[in-house]
Amino acid sequence: MQLILVSGLSGSGKSIALHVLEDAGYYCVDNLPATLLLEVADFMTVSGQEKAAISVDARSAALASLPAHIEALKGRGVDCRVLYLEASTPTLLRRFSETRRKHPLLGTDLSLPEAIEHERSLLASVAALGQRIDTSDLQARVLQNWIRDLLGIGSGALTLLFESFAYRDGIPLDADWVLDARMLPNPHYEPQLRPLTGRDAAVADYLRADPSVGRWLEDVRALLGRWLPEIVRENRSYVTVAIGCTGGRHRSVYLVERLADAFRGDWKVLVRHRGLARATPE
């Protein structure tokens, strides 16, 4: 069981951190009182949740008890980590001015600079508990990448959809990448294979026996293996790879199935075959 505590100054990027964790499959809770951490751990155990992220800020009740609760969680075997985000006062003043949002500690007796410094003093003990990140000079995208790298959650964030299609029906509009397989040998011209699809063993054997099919798969696996991690780093969570042949029943179907098998261990993989829903064979 893993529990990430996200804390830090208002305006420093806590919401960005929670969104990154939520996209990575963490059960996220914003602004939880520190006194309820143990109850959350109990809930995770009962519900089968293995990963959770909780935002704790200066408004949290019993903030001084947070270190004791963290030690209690670790005593239960929970992998509890603290991520503390901070920024310089001039940066925070600029961000609040740009967003026109109200600082949570801003009251009639405190100016914005005073509220920022008061929050900094309230959270001083929390800052020493975990990994500190100064976001003063970081763009949101860079902060997202830093958090993924720090927590090792980059690869789990992507859903990869492989879909086959027929060029005669047009290129799918939802495709991020479109790959052409029409230069490969066509099982349609083999009478015994014509009524079958790329999911059938006979068609798979026919295509597997041709060296050009193996080279095509090797090249595409290398291309995706090299660039998919970079796509994730750009805050993408969903990528569609469309593979087309003439009728969308033999070559593209076989290639989609093979690529899905190759990447299923690294990403969440979905498979769709547009051409197989049509009655007219290739």
pLDDT tens digits for range 2-59: 899 999 999 999 999 999 899 888 989 888 877 788 888 888 888 888 899 999 888 7
Mean pLDDT of all residues in 151-158: 66
Give a yes or no: residue 282 inside a domain. Answer: no
The mean-pLDDT minimum among 143-147, 241-245, 270-274 falls in 143-147
Residue after which a domain boundary falls, among 133, 153, 173:
153
Mean pLDDT of all residues in 253-258: 97
Do residue 12 and residue 98 come from a single domain? yes
Domain holding 73, by residue range, is: 2-153
Q: What is the CATH number of the domain that holds 59?
A: 3.40.50.300
Given this model, what pLDDT does residue 260 score?
96
Q: Is the pLDDT of residue 61 over 60?
A: no
Give me 107's structure tokens.
């009251």
Do residue 85 and residue 108 come from a single domain? yes
**Into how many domains does the chain fold?**
2
The pTM score is 0.63
Kindly report the length of the chain: 282
Do residue 19 and residue 141 come from a single domain? yes
Give a yes or no: residue 186 inside a domain. Answer: yes
Do residue 15 and residue 133 come from a single domain? yes
Span 157-180, pLDDT tens digits = 678 999 999 999 899 888 999 999
Do residue 94 and residue 175 come from a single domain? no
Give a yes or no: residue 46 inside a domain. Answer: yes
Mean pLDDT of all residues in 206-211: 96
Give a yes or no: residue 271 inside a domain. Answer: yes
Do residue 7 and residue 146 come from a single domain? yes
Do residue 109 and residue 8 come from a single domain? yes
Do residue 197 and residue 226 come from a single domain? yes
Do residue 163 and residue 235 come from a single domain? yes
Residue after which a domain boundary falls, among 107, 124, 153:
153
Place of tokens 């109850």: 39
Mean pLDDT of all residues in 134-142: 88
Do residue 140 and residue 251 come from a single domain? no
